[in-house]
Structure 1
Amino acid sequence: MSDCCSTNTKEMVSETSVSEYCPSCKKKGKKVKIITLKAILKPSVLDSLNPNSEHFFCNLEGCDVVYFDTDKKTYSISEIKVPVFQKDDSLTVPICYCFDWTREKITQYVKDGLASKPLEHIKQNVKENRCGCEVNNPQGSCCMGNVTKFIKQLP
């Protein structure tokens, strides 16, 4: 896998500045690599994927669209193999797809006074080059921001 969880600021800025707007909710999407769609879309919809288009991830909770491309082709929640953290508030949905850190599991660690453990575990595995965010996480990028935000909003 690439260094999707790296903190190279130059790489992060250029990746996030390339955006389009979701045809459904009009929110700016985040560009994702084709490998992410190939890994996350259900096999029944892969034949409609245009590998020559740029693809984007829509993270708006109330929007049914998960991915869209520059031709405004959309892929909805029902066409995705896994639940999407940003669009499903279930406790069993992963926040970290590579190492199975769910809302429920992280909440329990925080209750037990171990709030830093999930991030430490993820960081250690990233350091050991074990993450596979491009193929495991529907957003196609590192989850650490989502995990950190989730922990901070817990009571």
Structure 2
Amino acid sequence: MSDCCKINDSMTEKSQSCSSCGVVGKKIKIITLKSMLKPTSLESLNANLDHYFCATTDCEIVYFDLEQKSYSKTEIKVPVFQKDSSLGTPVCYCFDWTKEKIQKSIENGLTPHPVEQIRGNIKANRCGCEVNNPQGSCCLANVTKFSNQIGG
């Protein structure tokens, strides 16, 4: 299994709450922000600070740091699964599984199932979640949850 889809205990050492919604964010690697921020926002990034991902659906903030510098949805290059309800939004950023594609695949009984297809790619060490997924980690839990919600 790829390193990006393994649990990294060093990423859970500190916790920090989002200044907008108050929910504790998930610590992420700086490479994720470097990959996800639009160039104008990247210029203000303090790469020496810890950064966090806010997964709260109705919060505009996606990333924030220990000094409460934050980056909103409009400053991110891609739609964020947790914050965008449209069907064209990716659930799996590495292998192009959008909400719509997963829904159609399950409704039509296509194989392999999205979860199995993604697992196969993970085992083949093909994922790059740290640079493709705004949450900076594996999408498999999101894909499984979304699949279950639509009956798959």
- TM (normalized to structure 1)? 0.91
Matched, 1:145 2:138: no
Gaps of 5+ in 1: none
Structure 2 segments unaligned to the other structure (5+ residues): none
- Is it true that 1:107 corresponds to 2:123 in the alignment? no
- Shift in Å at residue 127 of structure 1? 1.0
Decide which moves more: 117-126 or 80-89: 117-126
User: Residue 106 of structure 1 contacts residue 115 of structure 1 at CA under 8 Å; is this kept in 2?
Assistant: no
Aligned match of 2:3: 3
Aligned counterpart, 2:55? 59
Aligned 8 A contact 1:115 1:151 in 2: no
Name the amino acid aligned to 2:55: N
Asked if the contact 1:55/1:68 (under 8 Å) is kept, the reply is: yes
TM-score, normalised with respect to structure 2: 0.93
Deviation digits for residues 3-57 of structure 1 (CA, Å, limit 9, x no counterpart): 0113x5xx35x53453210011001100000000000000011111001100000
Matches of 1:52 and 1:41 in 2, distance apart?
A: 16
> What percent identity do the matched residue pairs reach?
59
Instruction: Describe the shift of the 1:52–1:152 C-alpha distance in structure 2 as closer, same or farther (beyond 3 A).
Output: same
String of CA shifts for 1:105-134, please: whole Å, max 9, x gaps: 000111112476111111111111110100
Q: Which amino acid aligns with 1:5?
A: C
Residue from 74, 81, 85 that aligns with 2:81:
85
Q: Which amino acid aligns with 1:126?
A: I
Counterpart amino acid of 1:23? S
Please give the root-mean-square deviation of Cα atoms over the aligned residues, in Å.
Answer: 1.5
Q: Mean Cα displacement is larger for which, 98-107 or 15-24?
A: 15-24
- Aligned equivalents of 1:148, 1:65: Cα separation in 2: 24
Aligned to 1:129: 125
CA distance in structure 2 between the aligned counterparts of 1:109 and 1:128, rounded to whole angstroms:
22
Contact 1:21/1:29, CA 8 A, preserved across alignment: yes
Distance change in 2, residues 1:115/1:19 (3 Å)? farther
